Chains A and B, each alone.
Chain A
Amino acid sequence: MLWIAWKMLVGNRVKYLGIIFGVLFAALLIAQQSSIFCGLMFLTVSQIRDVEGPAIWVMDKNVEFIDDIKPLPDTDLFRVKGVPGVDWAVRFYKGLARARMEEGDFHQMILLGLDDATLIGAPEGLFMGALSDLRKPDAVIMDDAGYKQIWPGEPFRLGRTFEMNDRRAVLVGITKASRTFQTFPIVYTRYSSAVLYAPRERKVLSFVLAQPRPGLAAEEVCQEITRQTGLQALTRDEFMEKTIRHFLAKTGIPVNFAITVLLGFIVGTAIAGQTFYLFTVENIRQFGALKAMGTSNWTILMMVLAQGAQVGVIGYGLGVGLAALFGWSSRGLTKLAFFMPWQVLVMTAIAVFLIVLLASLLSIRRVLVVDPAIVFRG
């Protein structure tokens, strides 16, 4: 009987494509918008992701997210180092600096200061220059997107100089870096240089990066650090989560995307539901004949649900596929963030399931109440 349901559905090509279009439209819009949203959220944690070595981030207890810098006194490094369970700990500077270029123009930059001895937090994607050159006086490494932003159209060239806080900086390397939410150029330097490049403040230590002893869980060591120092200690994942939570709760970004997603849901349901209903009404005599010939209401219900499931699966596949294609084709454009984790696929699937269910409801009601005696009427 499900085969008959399938034949009825595909036999009515226009309606069939119409219902699929409704589902596809919704799936595409939901998957695509959610992916852009996830991409944006992913951007907010890009600087945490880029620091790959240490498992623990220690910071002021009021820090809400990665760009929310509340400097610590330098002595906090030693307090963290003294916590049992901490294998090693290093300083990490993150701040904004104003750079004056040779050409005389000013640029805001994200300044990252790495531990002088270990250079922990160094960029992974260095493709010009050598990391060891960062130990030279005034040496800085810049990300390629930042370079192109400051010197558009110019080839990559090392040895360029500029000034931050009246101190000379010499470009010794260019790296790939994950794009950030703020989209400023990123400048890497040693911690000791960074504090000189930054506007002078009483406290300058942004984060302490720490590693638990082998065999110890990072979460437990975090708790120990917090207990002993009163500082906020988070695992890398926890810090990313906290940062994303901040953007979810404190900005209008999620609302904007939610509205678009909801719109896709409603419009998709309307198109699919209406077309599905018209399809059912058009076939009501066939359903009536099947009922007269002894098809139970239960079977009729399964037939309609199977029809819904079929357009759901096809519409979902096409919609998500198109969304992925969109993301793939826009991967080169730096303006657009696109990230489609499995959660987006699951969420879209749930939405499509609901759409198909809602769309089928009217039809189900219609076929269940149809009197098999209608088939005798001309």
Chain B
Amino acid sequence: MERCSPMQPLPREPLPDDVAVRVRGVTKEFGSGGSLTKALRGVDLDVPYGEMLLLAGPSGCGKTTLVSIVAGTLEPTAGEVVVLGQDLVAMSSGGRVRFRRDNVGFVFQAYNLLPSLTAAENAAVPLMIAGHPRAQAVEAACEVLEHLGLGDRLSRLPAEMSGGQQQRVAIARAIVHHPRLLVCDEPTSALDAENGRITMELIAELAVQPDRAVIVVTHDSRVFSFADRIATMEDGRIESVAIGEHGG
């Protein structure tokens, strides 16, 4: 992999410590009474900067719930969540919206591209949300897409692209605004082995930066080799944390 990173890390202020994500005693309950679901039953987790953490475990064990809380789209029932030095639990909901806008990149299992926007326009969306002029945003997005090998697909609509290509557009969208936290929920599960491998390579290569933490939720044991660490969940708890092939 000779390609150099397209996104030079922006100069950042020195961080209070080297932990990007600190989760302590987090629980999450859905519903109430008879239909109460305890999705998380007390999770502790640290993710340092520059690391790619894999979150694995059986279906329904709470992986999506946990990353949603870390990304600031879901509030925990109890516990402490400090991400990039900011206390998400104490934050107002408007504050969380701005936090996500400025700091979080998302890659979803279902891509969630806007069907009537081209690849370049889709990848530019986070910059537009942040208030950048459209032309400038699209230009920056084109650059990222070119580095992801989609230089000849810039003006394609999602429907005109394969799943792997769409997921690459989604990765471009996730990193175009230099977020310091990247959250990917099952990014490869809709892809075949080859596209899954390419996708994970791109995430490992482009997303993992010294000032950025990456959390990838996956079922897919084929992608374990890309991880620094692998956290395995079971029934709302983190059962074990192992060093991945990449880590050390």
9-residue interface stretch from A3-11, A130-138, A241-249: A3-11
- Bound Cα distance A371, B69 (Å): 13
B94 at the interface (CB under 8 A from A): yes
If A4-B117, A8-B114 touch, whether A376 touches B108 (CB-CB below 8 Å) is yes
Which of A1, A3, A289, A297 is close to B112, meaning CB atoms less than 8 Å apart?
A: A289
Chain A residues whose CB sits within 8 angstroms of the CB of B121 once the complex forms: 7
Which of A286, A293, A297 is close to B129, meaning CB atoms less than 8 Å apart?
A: A293
Which of A8, A10, A285 is close to B110, meaning CB atoms less than 8 Å apart?
A: A285
Which of A288, A291, A294, A377 is close to B102, meaning CB atoms less than 8 Å apart?
A: A294
Q: Which chain B residues in 72-99 approach chain A with CB under 8 Å? A: 73-74, 94, 97-99
Q: Which of B73, B104, B134 has the most CB of A within 10 A?
A: B73
- Bound Cα distance A295, B125 (Å): 10
B63 and chain A: residue at smallest CB distance: A376
Instruction: Flag if B100 contacts A373 (CB, 8 Å).
Output: no
Chain B residues whose CB sits within 8 angstroms of the CB of A285 once the complex forms: 110, 112
If A289-B108, A294-B97, A373-B74 touch, whether A1 touches B102 (CB-CB below 8 Å) is no
Chain B residues whose CB sits within 8 angstroms of the CB of A377 once the complex forms: 64
B128 at the interface (CB under 8 A from A): yes
B109 at the interface (CB under 8 A from A): yes
A306 at the interface (CB under 8 A from B): no
Inter-chain contact total with CB atoms closer than 8 Å: 86
If A4-B114, A8-B114 touch, whether A294 touches B94 (CB-CB below 8 Å) is no
Instruction: Flag if B64 contacts A376 (CB, 8 Å).
Output: yes
Which of A7, A11, A12, A375 is close to B106, meaning CB atoms less than 8 Å apart?
A: A375
- Bound Cα distance A7, B138 (Å): 15
0/1 interface trace, chain B 179-192, chain A, CB 8 Å (1 if under)? 00000011000000
Instruction: Flag if B73 contacts A373 (CB, 8 Å).
Output: yes
B116 at the interface (CB under 8 A from A): yes
Chain A residues whose CB sits within 8 angstroms of the CB of B57 once the complex forms: none
- Bound Cα distance A294, B47 (Å): 22
- Bound Cα distance A289, B115 (Å): 12
Chain B residues whose CB sits within 8 angstroms of the CB of A104 once the complex forms: none
Which of A1, A292, A376 is close to B100, meaning CB atoms less than 8 Å apart?
A: A292
Instruction: Flag if A376 contacts B67 (CB, 8 Å).
Output: yes
If A294-B104, A295-B101 touch, whether A7 touches B112 (CB-CB below 8 Å) is no
A153 at the interface (CB under 8 A from B): no
B68 at the interface (CB under 8 A from A): yes
Q: Which chain A residues in 280-335 approach chain B with CB under 8 Å? A: 285-286, 288-297, 299
Instruction: Flag if A294 contacts B101 (CB, 8 Å).
Output: yes
A155 at the interface (CB under 8 A from B): no
B126 at the interface (CB under 8 A from A): yes
Q: How far is the CB of A187 from chain B (nearest CB, A)?
A: 67
A378 at the interface (CB under 8 A from B): yes
Instruction: Flag if B116 contacts A8 (CB, 8 Å).
Output: yes
- Bound Cα distance A1, B125 (Å): 8
Instruction: Flag if B129 contacts A378 (CB, 8 Å).
Output: no
- Bound Cα distance A291, B101 (Å): 9
B118 and chain A: residue at smallest CB distance: A7
A85 at the interface (CB under 8 A from B): no
A22 at the interface (CB under 8 A from B): no
Chain A residues whose CB sits within 8 angstroms of the CB of B99 once the complex forms: 294
Instruction: Flag if A11 contacts B116 (CB, 8 Å).
Output: yes
- Bound Cα distance A10, B117 (Å): 11
Instruction: Flag if A373 contacts B68 (CB, 8 Å).
Output: yes
Binding site for B on A (CB under 8 A): 1, 3-4, 7-8, 10-12, 285-286, 288-297, 299, 371-373, 375-378
Give 7 A-B pairs besides A286-B115, A289-B108 with Cβ atoms closer than 8 angstroms: A4-B114, A4-B125, A7-B114, A285-B112, A290-B129, A293-B126, A295-B97
